[in-house]
Chains A and B, each alone.
Chain A
Amino acid sequence: MNAPTDEQLLASHLSGDPESFRTLVERYSTELFQFVFRFTNRNAAAEDVVQDTFIQVHLAGKSFDPKRRFKPWLFTIAANKARDHLRSRTRKREVPLDAQIGGDDDDGQRFLDLLSDEMQSPTTGMEDAEQSEFIQSIVDAMPPHLGEVLILAYFHRFPYRDIADMLDIPLGTVKSRLHAAVTHFGTRYREQTGTEEEASE
């Protein structure tokens, strides 16, 4: 027997079947988490965004257009929330280090006073994940509208048409952005690794 489609599961969830929602969450939580992580570069942020995304699906599932497909809709919600998160992260204020220790009954000493020379600087050594971080740094440095198209196309294999729907841009724009993203990536990669592109045969 074929597994129910995403759209069938959502319809079933909306009619009151909790198991359908669980199946949807289990089907997409990992892929969605990794998608958002590549946007935000933080585990906790990715977790929050994925939770918020599924809760929105739970709360507003009825607004889903059944003529469309579920997965691009789900990723659209997640991408919007990831963008919101990144925007809010850049707005957060720095907090001072001069807070007092132990509440009201202390002697006025502050944590800043206790900072010692023992704190180490961030390591600059080579690590196992360096190659992954290197690739991530290239994509992070891209203009965001190129990075998101590249992530959607390469890591999640969305067809151009779906990406156009998700980002609400014309199909031709998806093609040109993806082309620009891949070219950008290839150029930066070669620049930073010092490799030369092999000649086409």
Chain B
Amino acid sequence: MNTMSKDFHNPDDQNPDGLILPYALGTLPEDEKITFESQLANDPNLAARVQSARRVLEPLGSWRAPMPPTTLVDNILVQATMTTPLEYVAASASMKPVDSESTYRRPWLGLRELGAVAACIAILVSLYVPGMQSVRSRQLQTLCDKNLASFGSGLRMYATEYDGQLPSIGTRSNVNWLRNDPNRGHLLPAIQGRFVLPKDLICPASDGSIDKEATLKNIQAFLQRSDLSFWSVPNANGPRPRINIRINIPIAVDPNPLFQQGKFQRGKNGTLSPNASTHEGRGQNVLFNDGSTRFLETPLLGKNKDNIWLADDIDEYQGTEAQQSTTDAFLTP
């Protein structure tokens, strides 16, 4: 039988014992706090019991909760802008004139005014539609970044459990990521362990529809989908980076524009696409091994300008190419 309850708190007492715990927690209203402190000054026994309560509570202070991702506020606001409160709809409906059926009013818009209004609308549309498309693209980019950050969070949790290692299903000498052995298979242990949710592998900007998340609710769908958004973890033939290495390297990125549907893509004049097409060619979301995400306007990283999508000195890819070291930024599908 413990003795603490007698020391600091009997919940059935009103005063002063019943106030010891809320006082120690700092939840007493100001007026009650002042009264209690005056009692405390004159009652050493009461003061000792307050100290006892504080000693019991003190270890709780070492329970740390992480800070939310920096994108949380923006994600909420983006979602909110895409959702209309019901009361707004109701309010707009209630603005209709009550007596519209009983009173005839001459139309205030004649043919000429209608023409002017139509012209204005056409001009406004031509001005704002591209802008709105850009806004939509940036919203999708934010959602994509949210999923990528969530994906990264899951990878870090996995690595915490497995001594800093990223998920892997082992190695084989004949892995061919261009043909039919996608590197995303290495994520399987993290998905099986529910560190990573399959939906976090989807970039809405890439798939064109957020609803497509529904198709990734099981592992079979995850493995069969060829259009997953994040091209993750280096080829199994190469060294696998650890999550806590000192040099910050990318571990996942938006779809590679160079390898689409298993084929190596070039532009009309034979040039390589500089950025993923996912975000209108503006750049790509990149996840780093410290869990941070950034939108990079170029696939070149660091002072060495390491290309995240290309292996050095290789023109024709066979599907067996891999990163050269744990600091090589080369990512394969």
Residues of A at under 8 Å CB distance from B?
14, 16, 18, 21-22, 25-26, 29-30, 33-35, 37-38, 42-44, 46-47, 50-51, 54-55, 58-62, 92, 95-97, 99-106, 111, 114-116, 118-123, 129, 131-132, 135-136, 139, 150, 153-155, 157-160, 172, 175-176, 178-179, 182-183, 185-187, 189, 197-198, 200-201
Question: Does A176 contact B11, Cβ atoms closer than 8 Å?
Answer: yes
- 11 A-B pairs, CB-CB below 8 angstroms? A14-B85, A22-B77, A29-B76, A44-B200, A51-B75, A99-B219, A103-B224, A121-B162, A155-B65, A160-B27, A201-B44
Residues of B within 8 A of A97 (CB): 188, 192
Question: Does B169 contact A115, Cβ atoms closer than 8 Å?
Answer: yes
Once A101-B223, A136-B63 are accepted as A-B contacts, the answer to whether A182 and B53 lie under 8 Å apart by CB is: yes
Residues of A within 8 A of B66 (CB): 34, 37, 43
- Interface residues in B44-58 (C-beta closer than 8 Å to A): 44, 48-49, 52-53, 55-57
Once A50-B72, A103-B226 are accepted as A-B contacts, the answer to whether A135 and B60 lie under 8 Å apart by CB is: yes
Question: Does A118 contact B168, Cβ atoms closer than 8 Å?
Answer: yes
The main secondary structure of chain A at its interface with chain B is helix
Give A70 Cβ to nearest chain B Cβ, in Å. 16
User: B197 is contacted by which of A44, A122, A198 (Cβ under 8 Å)?
Assistant: A44
Q: Residue on B with the closest CB to A107?
A: B180
B273, CB-defined interface residue at 8 Å: no
Question: Does A158 contact B80, Cβ atoms closer than 8 Å?
Answer: no
Once A33-B72, A179-B11 are accepted as A-B contacts, the answer to whether A120 and B171 lie under 8 Å apart by CB is: no
B55-90 near A? 1/0 per residue, CB < 8 Å: 111011011111111001101110111010111100
Give B312 Cβ to nearest chain A Cβ, in Å. 27
User: B62 is contacted by which of A47, A132, A182 (Cβ under 8 Å)?
Assistant: A132
Residues of B within 8 A of A44 (CB): 150, 153-154, 197, 200
CA distance A175 to B192 in the complex (A): 42
Give B94 Cβ to nearest chain A Cβ, in Å. 13
Residues of B within 8 A of A21 (CB): 77, 80
Residues of A within 8 A of B117 (CB): none
Question: Does B180 contact A61, Cβ atoms closer than 8 Å?
Answer: no
Residues of B within 8 A of A176 (CB): 11
CA distance A37 to B200 in the complex (A): 19
User: B169 is contacted by which of A22, A50, A116 (Cβ under 8 Å)?
Assistant: A116
CA distance A187 to B56 in the complex (A): 9
Q: Residue on B with the closest CB to A174?
A: B11
B15, CB-defined interface residue at 8 Å: no
Residues of A within 8 A of B188 (CB): 97, 99, 111
Residues of A within 8 A of B192 (CB): 95, 97
B170, CB-defined interface residue at 8 Å: yes
Residues of B at under 8 Å CB distance from A?
2-5, 7, 9-12, 18, 21-22, 25-29, 44, 48-49, 52-53, 55-57, 59-60, 62-69, 72-73, 75-77, 79-81, 83, 85-88, 146, 150, 153-154, 157, 161-163, 165, 168-172, 179-182, 185, 188-189, 191-192, 194, 197, 200, 218-220, 223-224, 226
Given contact pairs A55-B76, A116-B171, A175-B18, a sample of 17 additional A-B residue pairs in the complex whose CB atoms are under 8 Å apart: A29-B73, A34-B65, A47-B72, A47-B146, A51-B72, A58-B83, A95-B191, A99-B220, A114-B185, A121-B162, A155-B65, A159-B29, A172-B11, A183-B2, A185-B60, A200-B3, A200-B7
CA distance A153 to B55 in the complex (A): 16
Residues of A within 8 A of B189 (CB): 119
Residues of B within 8 A of A123 (CB): 161-163
Question: Does A157 contact B62, Cβ atoms closer than 8 Å?
Answer: no
CA distance A47 to B150 in the complex (A): 9
Residues of A within 8 A of B220 (CB): 99
Residues of B within 8 A of A135 (CB): 59-60, 62-63
Once A22-B73, A120-B165, A200-B52 are accepted as A-B contacts, the answer to whether A59 and B85 lie under 8 Å apart by CB is: yes
Question: Does A38 contact B63, Cβ atoms closer than 8 Å?
Answer: yes
User: B170 is contacted by which of A104, A119, A120 (Cβ under 8 Å)?
Assistant: A119
Question: Does B153 contact A43, Cβ atoms closer than 8 Å?
Answer: yes
User: B65 is contacted by which of A38, A115, A179 (Cβ under 8 Å)?
Assistant: A38
CA distance A105 to B87 in the complex (A): 52
Residues of A within 8 A of B25 (CB): 153-154, 157
Give B242 Cβ to nearest chain A Cβ, in Å. 11
Residues of B within 8 A of A38 (CB): 63, 65
